[in-house]
Amino acid sequence: MIGIICAMRQEIEEILVFTKEIKEECYRNFKFIRGNIFGTECVLSLCGIGKVHAAMCTQTLIMKYNPDFIINVGVAGGIAPEIKIGDIAIASGVVQHDFDISSFEGRKKGEIAGIDLIEIETTKWITDKILVCSKSINPIQIHTGTILSGDQFICSPQKLTELKNEFGGIACEMEAGSIGQVCYMNKKEFGIIRSISDHADNSSNIDFDKFIKSSSKNAANILSNFIKSYRD
Ligand code: SAH
C-alpha cells in the first residue's frame, strides 16, 4: 500500500480523478481515503496546511495503515530562477527553514535538534523513479533539489533571497520538511512531488489562487505515472 499525503482539497481532488473503489474513513481529525490507483492499493490523506498538521497526519497514517512508503504531492513556490509556474519540483531532500537554534554555539540554521541534521534526504529509489517517470510527460520541466518548508507562506523577494542564500533550494512550501522528519524517525521511505503555483514573490498569493488547480493537476499526473511504473 502507498500512502499519499496532500495538504489541501484542491491538491487531493486531482488525484481522486483517477482513484477507484474509494472508501472514506475519518480518524483523529484527518480524512483518509482508501482506493485503487492503476491496480495499486493506496491510502490518500488530507493533512491540512503547515508542519504540525502534516506531522500529525504522517504519524497517524503510519500507525494506522503502515504503508510501504509515503509520497507527498502538492504545490509550492518556486525558488530557483529558472523554475516556472507549472514546472515540477522533485525533492532530493527537505529542510525546515524556520527551525533555528543557531544562537547556540555549533548549531546551524535549519539544524533539527535531536536529529542533528539540516537536510533530510528523500528515499533515493523513489526520487529516481519519479524522475524517470516525469521525463515522459512533455513539455513539463522537471527540477530536482532541496525543498524548503516552514510555517510561512513566502510572498516577498527579500525573504526569498534570504532563503536562497541560507539554504539554496528549488522550491518552498509548508509541509514536506515535517513529513520528512516523521518518515525519518519512523524509518519510512518517502518522496516529494510538488508543482510550482507561484514565485514566492509579491504576487505569490494572487498566482497561487490562479494556478493551484493546474499545478495540482501537473503534480497528480507525475504521481499517476509513478504509480503505473514504480514496480518495473
Ligand atoms: N489559501 C490558503 C493558504 C494556502 S497556504 C488559505 O487561505 O487557507 C499555501 C499552501 O501551498 C501550503 O500548503 C504550501 O505547502 C503551498 N505553497 C505554495 N506556494 C507557497 C509559498 N510561496 N510559500 C509557502 N507555501 C507555499
Helix (H, G, I), strand (E, B) or coil at 1: coil
- Measured from the CA of 175, which atom of ligand 1 is nearest? 15
pLDDT above 90 for 134: no
Pocket flag, ligand 1, residue 159 (CB < 6 Å): no
- Domain range holding 128? 2-229
What is the bridge-based pairing of β-strands 189-198 and 88-96?
antiparallel
Mean pLDDT along residues 37-48: 98
pLDDT above 90 for 137: no
Q: What is the pLDDT of residue 160?
A: 96
pLDDT above 80 for 138: no
Nearest CA to ligand 1 atom 18: 76
Nearest CA to ligand 1 atom 13: 49
pLDDT tens-digit series, residues 68-101: 999 999 999 999 889 999 999 999 999 999 999 9
Q: What is the mean pLDDT of the chain?
A: 96
Q: What is the pLDDT of residue 29?
A: 87
Mean pLDDT along residues 217-229: 96
Catalytically active residues are: 11, 198
Total domains in the fold of the chain: 1
Pocket flag, ligand 1, residue 142 (CB < 6 Å): no
Write out the three cell numbers for 165.
542564500
Distance, in Å, from the CA atom of 120 to the CA atom of 209, rounded to the nearest integer, reads: 30
- Of 7, 17, 18, 2, give the one whose Cα is nearest residue 75: 7
Q: How far is the CA of 106 from the centre of ligand 1 (A)?
A: 32
pLDDT above 80 for 232: yes
Helix (H, G, I), strand (E, B) or coil at 27: strand
Distance, in Å, from the CA atom of 117 to the CA atom of 110, rounded to the nearest integer, reads: 8
pLDDT tens-digit series, residues 141-195: 999 999 999 999 999 999 999 999 999 999 999 999 999 999 999 999 999 999 9
Pocket flag, ligand 1, residue 47 (CB < 6 Å): no
Helix (H, G, I), strand (E, B) or coil at 47: coil
**CATH number reported for the structural domain that contains residue 160 in this entry:** 3.40.50.1580
In this structure, how many other beta carbons lie within 10 angstroms of the beta carbon of residue 113? 9
pTM reported for the whole predicted model = 0.98
- Of 231, 151, 185, give the one whose Cα is nearest residue 62: 185
Beta bridge pairs of residue 77: 172, 198
